[in-house]
Amino acid sequence: MNILEDMNPQQKEAVQYTRGPLLILAGAGSGKTRVLTHRIAYLIENGVKPYHIMAITFTNKAAQEMRDRVDQIVGFGSESIWVSTFHSSCVRILRRFIDRIGFLNSFTIYDTDDQKTLMKQVIKKLELDPKIYKERALMSAISSAKNEMISPEQFEKNAGLDWNKKKISQVYYEYQAELKKNNALDFDDLLVKTVELFKQCQDVLEYYQDRFQYLMVDEYQDTNTVQFQFINLLAAKNRNLCVVGDDDQSIYKFRGANIRNILEFEKSFPDAKVIKLEQNYRSTSNILDAANGVISNNKGRKEKKLWTENEKGAKITFRKFQNGFEEAEYVTGEISRKIRNGECRYGDIAILYRTNAQSRLFEEKLLIANIPYKIVGSVNFYARKEVKDLLSYLKTVDNASDDLAVQRIINVPKRGIGATTISRIQAHAAESGTNFYGALLEAQYIPGLSRSLSKIESFTTFIQKLRTQVQYYSVKELLEHIIEETGYVKKLEAEDTDEARARIENIDELISKVVTYEEEEESPTLSGFLQEVALVADIDSIDSDSDFCLLMTLHSAKGLEFPYVFMAGMEDGIFPSYMTITGDDPDELEEERRLCYVGITRAKKELVMTAASQRMIRGETQYNKVSRFVHEIPRELVELGREKDLDRDAFVNPRQRFSNNVSFKPRQFTVTRLEHLEYNVGDTVRHTKFGVGEVTDIADGGKDYEVTVHFDHAGVKKMFASFAKLKKI
């Protein structure tokens, strides 16, 4: 094939520039994936061995898409090219060399739920008040530190006389010590430990520098400090680094992304070549002009302007409603109308919003209208109780040092090993400096366990037997053996409820996942399967062939595209948020504007924006003005439902902004806070309207507890505990 065929001049230049640092500023829909894959093919055509090429992106979905395209274009030898995410790349490196920095190569990867469980244990061990030191806040502080390559020692030093930060540094020390004891890494550690490995072991770094002589990085605007260091270390020797990104789509500051990495690329590499891809192949001209009108208000950006040869297309539709109910009703009605008229499939439509809490009204209306939908960001399949239980068995077999996995399953299904027994085993483990499973093996020497000794020995014998079978059993056989021996499914079958049947279906799906993994992997292993499961993200589960509407936050929509997009909640106080508007940091507002730009450019054919005059937020009726981002769209591009929905004069200058003041109506009622809850996270509860579900989160909302429940049929709901009146089953 002709690699440069049907490419515009800028794309051709980017493909052919192969020596030295290169920054490709790729606007939304400008064909960056095509450029990257064809650049790889061009390198190989010009004598570069596939073995020496590495391409990194952020999501498994994006990596798989690139992998498929590379395989199709390159053909023979493409399997030698590393095409993967940052985390997957680091896992491959660490599986081989992490023993050089004090870990076992069979380390476990902790997901968010595992981290929360571990953090709760750390808070308890340090005797901190959980009402003051919440696990989410501590996890966020530690994650931010790791993203900036700040060690516990440096964190403590930076804390100075700040008493609160000193407490966090204690938690950081203990959290890392527990991870090390469990031979486990969290997601941030995957990168941090790889950078540590490179810095401490020069021979390992040189091995990978010689291996990856041509390095390409997608979505460079989303990189944080530790990712920046990882890339720079790999590229330092050969300097053939090509980064692709769009500063206008940098929206992950809250995850540690540093927009300076792309804005100051030429400072890090003074001899860098810069190529702009500004021709858009995705959207209509009106949609692009609207996006340009909004993003041009940002000051911290590299100058560029999207354009297209596509048709002008429909204007941006803006509708304003009295309240959120009317807004959701309108969107649902428009979807039904489009389907009735044969304009599109359900799968062509996305509803985007700023926060997850906004999904509730849309869910209710879509259910009533019998419109199939899926929420991106709802309870992850691998976070469901029955799936986590069985995965914990597999984790224990693979890495018995993982205390969280062992403690989760020691009494699942119930073996009569109670909380007192577990506490004594934990105390013995702490005193003897061993892990929890090691303490179980020494149970006969622990005082006060005589009644439970036979049950503990039965458990450890079962695990030891499984560990000897790993080399003879496939992962599927091992999982089925665990299910059979524990009687997990038989117990659910005996319950004979809708909930139990749904759980059995999830277990069947887990077995199917194992089979798929073993069929696709050349050398399948238990560690490999657990690694693949740990690195799955919500966005990776989206099937482009499935016919249902997608509901998601604007952050989740990054990288996706849809013929028809609804952007809901376009109000000052919602988007941008009230905190952003009233805050002192102008960078926060610029990031919100970039998020709006991302939302607009997801649309290919039609974009509808909606707002409500009043909206119920945390039990209060809130009155907001129309979002300033709507007013920044040139007036001639907008079609209004009613002229009075917007002040026409506000469109004279697209840069004109409304006042920062957001008015609120006084509360219409008071929330009566419950003193205590009869259920905890993980419990099964019943709601009078939504039926049976599992509690996935309980947060102290100040006025009352905010309970998040994943219902079997109604999906994810957030409710005040006093209103929900949930009954534990």
Annotated binding site for ATP: 26-33
CA torsion angle 482 484 487 489 (round to 10)? 100
**Considering 213, 223, 227, 249, which one is annotated as catalytic?**
249
DSSP per-residue codes, 545-596:
TS-SEEEEETTTTTT--EEEEEE---BTBBTTBHHHHHSS-HHHHHHHHHHH
Whole-angstrom distance, CA of residue 85 vs CA of residue 59? 6
Interior/surface letters 568-577, b for 16+ CB within 10 angstroms, e for the rest: bbbbbbbbbb
Give the CB-side neighbour count of residue 428, counting CA atoms within 13 A: 20
**Considering 10, 32, 229, 684, which one is annotated as catalytic?**
32
CB-neighbour burial class of residue 355 (10 A; exposed 0-12, middle 13-18, buried 19+):
middle
CB-CB neighbours of 727 under 10 Å: 12
CB-CB neighbours of 336 under 10 Å: 14
3-state DSSP helix/strand/coil % of the chain, to nearest 5 = 50, 15, 35
Whole-angstrom distance, CA of residue 631 vs CA of residue 620? 26
Whether residue 284 lies in the annotated active site: no
| C-beta of residue 277 within 8 angstroms of C-beta of residue 10 | yes
Phi-psi map region of 618: left, alpha, beta (phi>0 left; psi -120 to 50 alpha): left
Beta strand 620-623 pairing with 82-85: unpaired
Instruction: Determine the 3-state secondary structure of 514 from DSSP.
Output: helix
State the alpha helices, DSSP H only, in 201-323.
202-211, 225-235, 260-263, 265-268, 285-295
Whether residue 329 lies in the annotated active site: no
Whether residue 670 lies in the annotated active site: no
Tell me which residue of 666, 575, 686 sits closest to 619, measured CA to CA: 666
| Sequence-ordered list of residues with C-beta below 8 angstroms from that of 686, at least 6 positions apart, any chain | 692, 693, 726, 727, 729
**Considering 218, 329, 348, 532, which one is annotated as catalytic?**
218
| Residue where the block lists tokens 């089953």 | 729
- Residue 260, Cα to own-chain centre: how many angstroms? 22
**Considering 114, 135, 188, 219, which one is annotated as catalytic?**
219
Whether residue 451 lies in the annotated active site: no
Containing 421, the helix (H) or strand (E) segment is helix 419-432
Q: Which residues are annotated as a binding site?
A: 26-33
DSSP code of residue 626: B
**Considering 33, 154, 209, 614, which one is annotated as catalytic?**
33
Whole-angstrom distance, CA of residue 487 vs CA of residue 491? 6
Whether residue 33 lies in the annotated active site: yes
Tell me which residue of 211, 205, 269, 282 sits closest to 243, measured CA to CA: 269
Whether residue 249 lies in the annotated active site: yes
Instruction: Determine the 3-state secondary structure of 254 from DSSP.
Output: helix
Whole-angstrom distance, CA of residue 660 vs CA of residue 10? 41
DSSP code of residue 307: B
What single letter denotes the amino acid at residue 226? V
Q: What angle do CA 681, 682, 683 make, to 5 degrees?
A: 95
| Sequence-ordered list of residues with C-beta below 8 angstroms from that of 713, at least 6 positions apart, any chain | 690, 691
What single letter denotes the amino acid at residue 438? G
| Sequence-ordered list of residues with C-beta below 8 angstroms from that of 476, at least 6 positions apart, any chain | 511, 514, 515, 518
**Considering 193, 384, 602, 615, which one is annotated as catalytic?**
602
| Residue where the block lists tokens 């509708």 | 319
Q: What angle do CA 214, 218, 222 make, to 5 degrees?
A: 130
User: What residues form DSSP beta bridges with 640?
Assistant: 318
Please identify every residue annotated as catalytic: 32-33, 218-219, 249, 602
